[in-house]
Amino acid sequence: EKVRIYQLAKELGIDTKDLLAHLDSLGVEYKSHSSTLEEDVAETIRQLVSEERGEVAAAPQPQAAATAPAPAEAQPAAPHRAPVVTVMGHVDHGKTSLLDFIRKTRVADKEAGGITQHIGAYRVETPNGPITFLDTPGHEAFTTIRQRGASATDIAVIVIAADDSIMPQTREAIAHARAAGVPIIIAINKTDLPQANVDKVKQDLMRLELVPEDYGGDTITVPISAKTGAGVDQLLEMISLVAELEDLRAPVDGPAEGVIIESVLDKRAGVLATVLVQKGTLRVADYLVSGEVWAKVRRMTDENGQTVAEAGPSVPVQILGFSEQPVAGDKIVSAPDEATAKAIVAERRAAREEAEREGIGKKGVTLADLFGKPKAVKINLILRADTQGSLEAIKGVIAREAEQVEEVDVEVMLDAVGAPTESDLLLASTAGATVMSFGVTAPGSVKKAAERQGITLKSYRIIYDLIEDVQRLIKGQIEPEF
């Protein structure tokens, strides 16, 4: 019987990475950690590993090692940290139910007085180590944090209901995860329903170029039920597996760095901010700066309402001590003392105000400023897509791309659901626009007409590819030689 690489690693009790190294040394080709191995290869590896173990046990400790000076190795790598996971997917596919189920069944025993509370993230223990979940489901939160320049997610779990398969927000979620370069695990949910069709979901995934393992690809799919809990343990196991391959590490010592996950104004307590520590250790009485606000940490609590004295990498804590509300997605850094924290904040405020004054000062000086500086070049686009959801997602990303370049104006002249038409071509030829379609293709007659008129008409199956082409268009305008 054939065995998958990660299964064999588990059987032998070694890291998947080490097993891949063995395969490399044997010259065995594999596609991913989930590829299957021939029985004889698996057997060879088993022998190799047991020989190695035997040798290690039997071989006398080499004398040289005891006396020789420590090898001049590079600094020891920072210790492993828990993966941080975001759950995304279409509305009603079960994101909240999944997060609730995991939390309910996995959060470490609630000590006396502990009350489960929503702080925006929680940590669970699993047989393969702790995992941190951001518990604001959906890609809006994910992307808000990314927009502010931080990244708080190591792995995206995309939940797809088995009775509904891939829906517009599923595509969006996948596009967001891909744009962020975050590994994806697919949780096929609601498998307890009689109308659940796991195979249909897998086939639909292939169309998004996410080929499931059992279809020969390397996309991890786990059938689950957030209602009964079936498959949830396997899902957690897969998260740990992917985390191991990602080799996530962070130093525990040193001043804390992290990101604001959530910030609320509590009528009684004041400003409560949830920080995900990403590096170093955060302690009570530390000084922090985030954006243009600072804090002296007066109290830290975990997701069970328990007071904690310190928080290391991948640990989320709710902090009391900010004088004003920090912004979700802003980074946090430690400051040695109050004076420094205040000075950093004052400096940042001054810099921003200065920039604003300059902006205002310029206005009215020239006509161009008065009427808005004309941008150098304009790119006109006509967008077509299979659904309104995809259209919105594409427009959102294009708008953000366009914001980043001053020299180029990107205008979406028309966006509509359905295949490109002759009338789109008319508009395109008058305005010099490019027609891009996502998930729909133009009929042959329209394609021919476009060719005749010299209009660029392209169709895409992946949002990210479309966006890449838009980026290329923008780049081509800035650097004509590109």
- Cβ-contact 182, 154 below 8 angstroms: yes
Please identify, using beta-carbon distances, which residue of 189 and 301 lies nearer to ligand GDP.
189
As a three-state string, the secondary structure of 417-454 is ECCCCHHHHHHHHHHCEEEEEECCCCCHHHHHHHHHHC
Helix residue ranges per DSSP H, 184-231: 198-207
Binder of ligand GDP out of 48, 193, 211, 327 (CB under 6 A):
193
The stretch among 28-36, 117-125, 223-231, 324-332 that binds ligand GDP (CB under 6 A) is: 223-231
Does 227 help bind ligand GDP (rule: CB under 6 A)? yes
Does 258 help bind ligand GDP (rule: CB under 6 A)? no
Site string for ligand GDP, 106-145 (x = CB under 6 A): -------------------------------x--------
The stretch among 210-218, 221-229, 236-244, 407-415 that binds ligand GDP (CB under 6 A) is: 221-229
Please identify, using beta-carbon distances, which residue of 135 and 415 lies nearer to ligand GDP.
135
Does 97 help bind ligand GDP (rule: CB under 6 A)? yes
The stretch among 225-233, 289-297, 312-320, 411-419 that binds ligand GDP (CB under 6 A) is: 225-233
Does 429 help bind ligand GDP (rule: CB under 6 A)? no
C-alpha 279, offset from chain centre: 18
User: What is the torsional sign of CA 350, 355, 356, 362?
Assistant: positive
Look up tokens 């310190």; give the residue: 310
Question: Which residues sit opposite 409 in a β-bridge?
Answer: 378
- Cβ-contact 250, 95 below 8 angstroms: no
Binder of ligand GDP out of 91, 309, 339, 355 (CB under 6 A):
91
User: In whole angstroms, how far apart are CA 364 and each of 354, 360, 371?
Assistant: 18, 8, 9
CA distance 443 to 243: 44
The stretch among 88-96, 114-122, 341-349, 407-415 that binds ligand GDP (CB under 6 A) is: 88-96
Binder of ligand GDP out of 4, 33, 81, 93 (CB under 6 A):
93
The stretch among 64-72, 108-116, 185-193, 311-319 that binds ligand GDP (CB under 6 A) is: 185-193
Q: Are strands 257-266 and 331-335 parallel, antiparallel or unpaired?
A: antiparallel
Q: Which two tokens stand for residue 230?
A: 């079936």
Site string for ligand GDP, 144-183 (x = CB under 6 A): ----------------------------------------
DSSP letter assigned to residue 246: H
Does 92 help bind ligand GDP (rule: CB under 6 A)? yes
Please identify, using beta-carbon distances, which residue of 223 and 291 lies nearer to ligand GDP.
223
Helix (H, G, I), strand (E, B) or coil at 338: helix
Cβ neighbors of 150 (< 8 A, separation 6 or more) are: 259, 329, 330, 331
Binder of ligand GDP out of 7, 32, 44, 96 (CB under 6 A):
96
Look up tokens 């498959």; give the residue: 231
C-alpha 471, offset from chain centre: 21
Please identify, using beta-carbon distances, which residue of 173 and 238 lies nearer to ligand GDP.
173
Q: How many chain residues are in contact with ligand GDP, going by CB under 6 A?
A: 16
> Which parts of this chain interact with ligand GDP (CB under 6 A)?
89, 91-97, 137, 189-190, 192-193, 225-227
